Amino acid sequence: MLNTISFLESSLPQFLDDLAALVNVDCGTFTKRGVDFCGDWVNARGQQWGWDMEYFPVREFGNCHLARLRGNGAGKFLLLTHLDTVYPEGVAAERPLRAEGNKLIGPGVGDMKAGVLAAMYAMCALQAQGFDNFAELAIFFGCDEEIGSPTGKKFYLPLVEKADAALVLEGARANGNIVSARKGTGEYILRVRGQAAHAGVEPEKGANAILELAHQILALHNLNGIAPGVTVNAGIIGGGTRTNVVPDAAHVEIDVRAVDADGARIAHDAVMQLAAHTHVARTRVEIAGAFNFPPMAKTPAIAFMADLAQATARELGFEIHDQATGGASDANNVAATGVPVLDGLGPIGGSDHSPAEYVERDSIVPRTALLAGLIEKLCTRRAELLAFKNEK
Ligand SMILES: [Zn+2]
């Protein structure tokens, strides 16, 4: 373990240069040129470090990449990262990576450039120590996680199916916690159709869609807690043209979250059933939507992985805890396959998706060492992991 720390400490200056190189380029999901710059960068570095590099061409978004390191053992472990960010073009020039005390601040620094590098340096540290008790370690570099990985997951889910477990490199929480459970997220839109009329001359001929929408929003919010952990949020509304017109159309966009598959099913059915009951005569309700990120519940196998991470942290001289979070990531898609997954394994940071996005500089070495140590433990205690894995 000590070798890993000293290796990573001596690599930190290069890590920080690499971080600046990847942060200071516009690589929002829709900026293919920038995401491809990052992809070509990891491809070149992977080849330089002697890894088998593969790339998945994508026309609409950036290309995806895969790094493989083969060993002489049995375990197959997949690390999941993404190269895209939420930031539009121009932000990298406006706010390049900068240091403020122990904070490194910049667009995508925590979500997820520091995680991308932590994955690469952890694999490099294991390699440098000659650790090869695995069949294959692989790192996948996705191109569109920030829009739900519609493209990336087509490439990584087949890899997940062949893996014993997956590790996702979203950042560790600001309090240092790693992530062992994530809510599933659903997006719905509820549309109301009514009948237009002159609000002054003959309002009785109209059917007010906004009024019906108001009733529906109250009914939506009554679904909060319909199953443990279910939340329902009316986030965006629209409707109406002019004050002197009875509105014939209105809509609301809805965020629904659930902690497990049962909750997701119960919430989905309850939302869809709202269309069956209207309050304003001659109005009609249509609802569309689904869970786009399935829930990631803390299974026994995930609890075992979290325990291994905590044991590794103790060996490195610090304490970590695992937690559930309401936000979604690629870990949700992995969890839905039944393959165990742990998340929040990147350096500590926070304020993602905002101008204040940061990582803690002094967390880079210990968290990358934690990742390397966790991989080592997963490889050596693979039999126990597989036993848990079969215990749904
Ligand atoms: Zn992310």
For the chain, the domains span 2-182+296-389, 184-293
What is 271-300 written as a DSSP string? HHHGGG--SSTT-EEEEEEEEEE--B---H
- pLDDT at residue 367 in the model: 98
Distance 109 CA to ligand 1 centre (A): 10
Considering just the CA atoms, what is the radius of gyration of the chain in Å? Answer: 24
CA dist., res. 184 & res. 325, Å (int)? 10
pLDDT tens digits for range 292-325: 899 999 999 999 999 999 999 999 999 999 999 9
Handedness of CA 344, 259, 357, 60 (dihedral sign): positive
pLDDT tens digits for range 237-279: 999 999 999 999 999 999 999 999 999 999 999 999 999 999 9
Residues contacting 163, CB < 8 A, separation 6+: 76, 77, 78, 138, 339
Distance 39 CA to ligand 1 centre (A): 16
What is 138-182 written as a DSSP string? EEEEES-GGGT-TTHHHHHHHHHHT-SEEEE-PEEPTTS-EEEEE
Residue the block writes with tokens 């061409």: 57
CA dist., res. 284 & res. 101, Å (int)? 57
pLDDT tens digits for range 317-372: 999 999 999 999 999 999 999 999 999 999 999 999 999 999 999 999 999 999 99
Distance 168 CA to ligand 1 centre (A): 9
Let me know if domain 2-182+296-389 sits in CATH 3.40.630.10: yes
Let me know if domain 184-293 sits in CATH 3.30.70.360: yes
3-state secondary structure labels for all residues of 10-75: HHHHHHHHHHHHHHCCCCECCCHHHHHHHHHHHHHHHHHCCCEEEEECCCCCCCEEEEEEECCCCC
Distance 111 CA to ligand 1 centre (A): 4
Distance 82 CA to ligand 1 centre (A): 7
Query: To the nearest 5 percent, what fractions of the chain are helix, strand and coil?
Result: 40, 25, 30
Distance 296 CA to ligand 1 centre (A): 16
pTM: 0.91
Distance 140 CA to ligand 1 centre (A): 13
Distance 233 CA to ligand 1 centre (A): 22
- At residue 392 the predicted structure's pLDDT band, cuts being 50, 70 and 90, is low
Tally the residues of the chain: 392
Distance 287 CA to ligand 1 centre (A): 29
Average pLDDT over residues 95-102: 98
- pLDDT at residue 244 in the model: 96
- pLDDT at residue 2 in the model: 58
Strand-pair category, 103-105 with 358-360: antiparallel
Distance 146 CA to ligand 1 centre (A): 6
Q: Return the exposure string of 298-313: e unless at least 16 CB atoms fall within 10 Å of the residue's CB, then b.
A: bbebbbbbbebbbebb
CA dist., res. 171 & res. 344, Å (int)? 5
pLDDT tens digits for range 25-79: 999 999 999 999 999 999 999 999 999 999 999 999 999 999 999 999 999 999 9
